[in-house]
Structure 1
Amino acid sequence: MTAPNPVRLAWLDALRGYAAVTVMAFHLSPLVLGNERHLAVMRHIDLGKYGVLLFFLVSGYVIPMSLEKHGSLGRFWIGRLCRIYPAYLFAIACVAVLCTAGWMSWQASLRQETVTGVLAHATMMPDLLGQRGAARVFWTLSYEMTFYLVVSGLFAWKLHRHSAWWASGLALLAFVRLPDNLFGADPGQRRITAAILVVVIGLSVLAYVMDRFVLLAGAAGIAFLLLPAFNGHDTKNSTVIASWQGLLLLAVMFAGTVIYRWQHGQLGRRPATFALTTVALGVVGAHWAHLGTYAALRVWSANVGAVAVTFLFAYAMRNRPVPAFLTWLGRISYSLYLLHVVLLILVPRIVPDIGNSAGVIRVAVGVAYVIIALGVAWLAYRMVELPGQALGRKLTAKLLPPPVPASLLATQRAATATGQGENARRASRLDA
């Protein structure tokens, strides 16, 4: 099977952009369609979860590829932090400005447990610490960050090629009723846990960058699986409904890794098929087993089926030209995902009583909102994300030496071996 271009995977860009627009449409739907029609759609498919699962599947494919391309945990983490934090901090700054102006207010959990909330946002893990994010979509970042840490730990311990086992194991473990708040049953525990996570993540990243105590940092990274497994629904403010659902989200990410490894010949067809089937059936089956309703079975079957069909279609088209608009959406998808909900809060203030307006007015407002959201996301990408990525490249060049190409290493080894052989022959002639 021909490997795709590792520099730019346009089909994955298109998937990311499509997923971001789907989530935006889901959040816009009650405003444009009205609550009744929105809920009617939700009875058949949850477009929000569909978009998020698609995001996670793409992340599971891309992150291990990025890590293995760098071949260095230090390079990976410098690049990743400079890729995700600037836009994230910019989104928080936008919320702060709007709160100061009185156009919105901080989440209640942030007001009630300010220290925990600040620490949780510092690590991008608010949902796993029972906190609402400053923006409602921040909850998914908790699982993205957990996945980065776990994959880094597996890479450090050379266990990263066993993706099929991790995907299948997490999906099957989700059928078990697990604790939901083992590390944060009360505000004091949550504050302590949040502080510990800041220290552990900070020291782990430092270890990777300095290339010291890497195995210890890797062990800590793998141990982060305990957080969603036993603290997945810390409080009612957590978006994930239980620990078992958090494990399913990670299983979906590892399913993306399984696809990557199968495509590149690192995993056989049978184990890949088994793992992907286990994850798909696990997501549907665990929701049915724990929630016990046919509504859950119907909706999650639709969610998983839609994600599978969408990804398979994009994968089948991966070697064909992708429309430039879709790749552009992919580039701005992160800023669009973070900022669209902040902009959505402003719509009722700009257009009062929009819920009671005529349908044509709601549709016109929705179209205007989408255009403005895309424009803001593009500006954020150009003015925040790109400079952050440039900073990452500069820091990498300054802090880490460039990797020695494998071909050069082989040449150096051959030269060393030749030199050692020549020295041995000279020594033998002198002895003679």
Structure 2
Amino acid sequence: MVLGDRLGDRDNNFDVLRLLAAWAVLVSHSYALVGLREPLHQLDTSLGHVGVLIFFAVSGLLIRRSWELDPSPRDFWIKRGLRLLPGLAVVALVTAFVLGPLVTRVSLVTYFSAGETWIYPLRIVVLLPFGADLPGVFDESIYGDSVNGPLWSLPVEVFAYLLLFLMGVVGLLRSRAAVTALAVAGLAWAAVWVTVTSPALGAVSVLAAFALAAATYDWRDRLVLSHPVAAAAFAACVLAGFGPEWLSVVVWTVGAVYLSFWFAYALPPVGRGLTRFGDASYGLYIWAFPVQQTIVQVLGGDIHPWLLVVVATPIVWLLAIASWRLVERRALARKPRPRPVPAT
């Protein structure tokens, strides 16, 4: 099967894949929040990082395709904004003005008189989550006072959108050689970056997955998706986990991109029951951490990570479905449609 033969096919497994990736982040953080090393640390990575890699890989391909179908700067940013901001605004407001007052360790007078409380929703919506704290909220957590840590990836993803947008505007996306060269340079940068910076900043290497996935669009008619190659890619990822860090980054990035597309297009329909009520992947990602933090605060930091998973998953799932049905889906219905090309 060739990638290009399936790109326009809506009968794919992307919704399920994104949902599994978001849940992988939830599982991974269930370990981190109780002070345990996250799954896959034996391979010099984490289950959460793999989940984010998948998100960036899927996004790289689909956003590139979206630009090619509708290269309108205005429409490009409207679509991105409608996908990210409405759901994010709701989780920010609910966290600040519903959850925060319930779990804060300071008095309500102190909480509501603090500038941080009122600026928090704005900081989240304008994608400045770093240091966006709430008074007395989760300040005794193992993560310090990080209210919604996973949101770090959203400004990074928007930065990836910006790079692709600029390449499209100046015409670089029309050059397969230029796009491929930039993807290779991104991989090289990621391999070096993780060895010279902190693990937190090193996570930004997921940009390389976005760049590589966007570049595969130019090779879509030659990229074969097959089970033997997928098995080899999976094996290579496992083996690379025992090698030097730079090699692990390169192999895991390439492997995540290939395996994501293989899962989406080469496998028969899987897990469709998980998405029958809506696309809960984004909601799951942005709601999970505050819910998990609250559960740890209520039940104690010695809770078993899988008990945390079992308790958090249905709560976050319901919130994510509500987010999709009441907020995200309605916002996306307002997306501009590609405009017809005028006849010449």
Give TM-score scaled by structure 1 length: 0.59
Q: Shift of residue 381 of structure 1? A: 0.6
Q: Aligned partner of 2:256: which letter?
A: V
Deviations 1:275-309 (A, max 9, x none): xx9xx99xx8xxx9xxxx96846975885586367
Q: Where in structure 2 are there 5+ consecutive unaligned residues?
A: 107-113, 134-145, 225-232
CA distance in 1, matches of 2:294, 2:117: 24
Aligned 1:188-227 pairs, distance under 5 A: none
**Which structure 2 residues correspond to residues 239-250 of structure 1 after superposition, within 5 A?**
240-241=200-201, 246=204, 248-250=205-207
| 102 and 323 in structure 1: CA distance in 2 versus 1, 3 angstrom threshold | closer
**Residues 306 and 170 (structure 1 numbering): CA distance in 2 closer, same or farther, change over 3 Å?**
closer
**1:151 aligned residue:** 164
Q: Show the counterpart of 1:206.
A: none
Q: Equivalent of 1:317, from 250, 257, 266?
A: 266
Q: Which runs of 5+ in 1 are unaligned?
A: 181-232, 269-276, 414-432
Kindly indicate which of the two structures has a greater share of residues assigned to helix: 1
Distance 1:62 1:156 in 2: 18
Q: How far, CA to CA, are the matches of 2:330 and 2:245 in structure 1?
A: 43
Contact 1:171 1:251 in 2 (8 A): yes
CA distance in 2, matches of 1:296, 1:175: 8
**8 Å CA contact retained: 1:120, 1:131:** yes
Q: 1:254 to 1:295 in 2, by over 3 A?
A: closer
Map 1:168-207 to 2 at 5 A: 168-174=184-190
Which deviates more, 368-377 or 150-159? 368-377
SS of residue in 1 equivalent to 2:172 = coil
Q: 2:170 is matched by which residue type in structure 1? A: W
Code of the aligned partner of 2:42? R
1:310 is displaced (CA, Å) by 3.6
Q: Find out whether 1:334 has 2:292 as its counterpart.
A: no
1:381 aligns with 2:329: no
DSSP 3-state at the match of 1:325: helix
- Equivalent AA in structure 1 for residue 8 of structure 2: P
Paired residues of 1:124 and 1:142 also in contact (CA < 8 A): yes
Partner deviation per Cα, 1:113-158 (whole Å, 9 max, x = no partner):
999977754432445xx76775111100111110111111111111
Does the C-alpha gap of structure 1 residues 135 and 304 become closer, same or farther in structure 2, counting only changes over 3 Å? same
1: CA distance, partners of 2:301 / 2:101: 22
Matched, 1:258 2:258: no
How far apart, CA to CA, are the structure 2 residues paired with 1:176 and 1:354? Answer: 36
Report the equivalent of 2:311: 368
- Using the TM superposition, name which of 252-261 and 56-65 deviates more: 252-261
One-letter amino acid of the counterpart of residue 123, structure 1: V
Three-state SS of the structure 2 residue aligned to 1:241 is helix
Question: C-alpha distance in 1, partners of 2:28/2:192?
Answer: 30
Distance (Å, rounded) in 2 between the aligned partners of 1:115 and 1:156: 37
Give the Cα separation in 2 of the matches to 1:93 and 1:115: 9
Distance apart, 1:323 and its partner CA:
3.2
Partner of 1:187: none
Deviations 1:234-282 (A, max 9, x none): xx9xx7325xx63x322210111122321146x99xxxxxxxx9xx99x
How far apart are residue 43 of structure 1 and its match? 3.4
State the one-letter code of the partner of 2:214: T
1:340 Cα offset (Å): 0.8
Check conservation: 1:11, 1:317, Cα contact below 8 A. no
Task: Please state how far the C-alpha of 1:315 moved relative to its aligned partner.
Answer: 4.9
Provide the rounded CA distance (Å) in 1 between the counterparts of 2:32 and 2:200.
21
Which whole-Å CA distance do the structure 2 matches of 1:55 and 1:303 have between them?
A: 13
Aligned residue for 2:340, secondary structure, equals: coil
Higher Cα radius of gyration = 1
For these two proteins, the number of residue pairs brought into alignment is 308
TM-score by length of 2: 0.72
Partner of 1:307: 256
The equivalent of 1:83 in structure 2 is 83
Q: How big is the alpha-carbon RMSD for the aligned residues of Structure 1 and Structure 2?
A: 4.2
Following TM superposition, by how much is the alpha carbon of 1:353 offset from its aligned partner in structure 2, in angstroms?
A: 3.1
Distance in 1, Cα, partners of 2:331 & 2:286? 16
Helix, strand or coil at the partner of 1:124: coil
Distance in structure 1 (CA, Å) of the matches to 2:261 and 2:160: 23
Asked if 1:42 is matched to 2:41, the reply is: yes
CA distance in 1, matches of 2:23, 2:121: 29
Paired position in structure 2 for 1:163:
179
